[in-house]
Structure formats: structure tokens, C-alpha cells
């Protein structure tokens, strides 16, 4: 089950990157509408789009349907992964970090922990299984992002 959850989370988080590499910025409307927060910085940034958000949820649903837990399960996990990613972006903007800046932990934990906790409740997983999903997701992101950059699928190595 850990591998299944990891694949669903990787699909959710990889979908926006994959979609952007396939079609560029077409239809990429920022979630925050380009508005600035009280601190003069973007709420989330231009890289967080409605298109990417929907792509993450939909691909997670498809992968979960193909792997067995079901499309609803995947959509819920995808939505939680995307919510965690939006939270990370919000915090990074408050810290004055660009969307391309690596903040180890903040870039991986919210988008993996929220869905892993939900999966833990949904599937009655042990705490170690939930933590294993988060740790494996962190490792996959830290190794996979530079690889995707070298393959030309990411704009930044992290």
C-alpha cells in the first residue's frame, strides 16, 4: 500500500509539471489571480495555477483508479496534495522565497503529509506507514526533481 500511495502522490505533484512541459503556459491562470498579500508579495505566485491544481487532482484519481483504491480516493488525496503544495507556496512567499527556491521539508512535507494522514484514516494504516510515505515522497522529490530538470521537464533543478 505504501508504494501505491507514493505513486498517487507523485502523480498528483507531477501532473502540473508534466502539463506545463506539454502545453506551456496556455490556460495557466494563477490561483491567486496575481494579487499581492499584505506584505506586498504574491499570495502564492504565478506558478500555482488552476490548470495545475485540476491536473494534479485528475491524474491522482486516474492513477488510484488504475492501481485499485479508486478514483474518489485518488481525487481526495490529489486535492490534499495540491492543498499542501499551495500552503508551502504561501509560506515560501511570506519568507521572501521565490517559487524556484528549494526549502527542504517545506517543499515536500505538507503536500505528502496531508494526503498520507487522510489515507491513514481511510485505510487504517499504522503510523509508521504514514511516515514511510512522507519520507519516501521527500526522497523521490529530492532525487526526481533534478532528474526531471536534466530531462528538460522542469524549469528548475528543485
pLDDT interval class at 152 (50, 70, 90): low
Residue 157 lies in a domain: no
Residue 9 lies in a domain: yes
pLDDT greater than 70 at residue 116 = yes
Residue 157: the pLDDT is 61
Residue 156 lies in a domain: no
Residue 158 lies in a domain: no
Q: Are 99 and 49 in contact (CB under 8 A)?
A: no
Residue 92 lies in a domain: yes
Name the average pLDDT for the chain.
90
Euclidean distance between CA atoms 107 and 1, whole angstroms? 23
Q: Are 27 and 78 in contact (CB under 8 A)?
A: no
Residue 61 lies in a domain: yes
How does pLDDT run across 127-143, given as a tens digit for each residue? Answer: 999 999 999 999 998 88
Residue 155 lies in a domain: no
Residue 36 pairs in a beta bridge with 42
Average pLDDT over residues 46-70: 96
Q: In terms of residues, how long is the chain?
A: 158
pLDDT interval class at 115 (50, 70, 90): very high
Domain count, the chain: 1
pLDDT: which is higher, 58 or 98: 58
Residue 106: the pLDDT is 87
Residue 149: the pLDDT is 63
The boundaries of the domain holding residue 90 are 2-150
Amino acid at each position: 500500500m505504501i508504494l501505491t500511495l507514493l505513486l498517487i502522490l507523485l502523480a498528483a505533484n507531477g501532473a502540473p509539471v508534466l502539463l506545463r512541459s506539454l502545453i506551456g503556459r496556455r490556460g495557466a491562470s494563477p490561483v491567486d489571480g496575481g494579487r499581492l498579500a499584505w506584505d506586498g508579495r504574491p499570495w502564492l505566485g504565478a506558478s500555482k495555477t488552476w490548470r495545475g491544481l485540476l491536473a494534479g487532482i485528475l491524474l491522482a484519481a486516474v492513477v488510484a483508479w488504475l492501481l485499485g483504491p479508486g478514483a474518489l480516493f485518488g481525487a481526495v488525496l490529489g486535492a490534499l496534495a495540491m492543498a499542501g503544495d499551495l500552503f508551502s507556496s504561501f509560506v515560501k512567499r511570506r519568507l521572501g522565497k521565490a517559487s524556484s527556491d528549494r526549502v527542504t521539508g517545506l517543499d515536500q512535507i505538507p503536500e505528502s503529509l496531508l494526503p498520507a494522514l487522510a489515507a491513514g484514516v481511510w485505510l487504517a494504516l499504522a503510523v509508521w506507514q504514514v511516515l514511510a510515505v512522507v519520507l519516501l515522497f521527500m526522497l523521490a522529490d529530492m532525487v526526481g526533481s533534478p532528474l526531471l530538470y536534466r530531462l528538460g521537464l522542469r524549469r528548475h533543478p528543485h
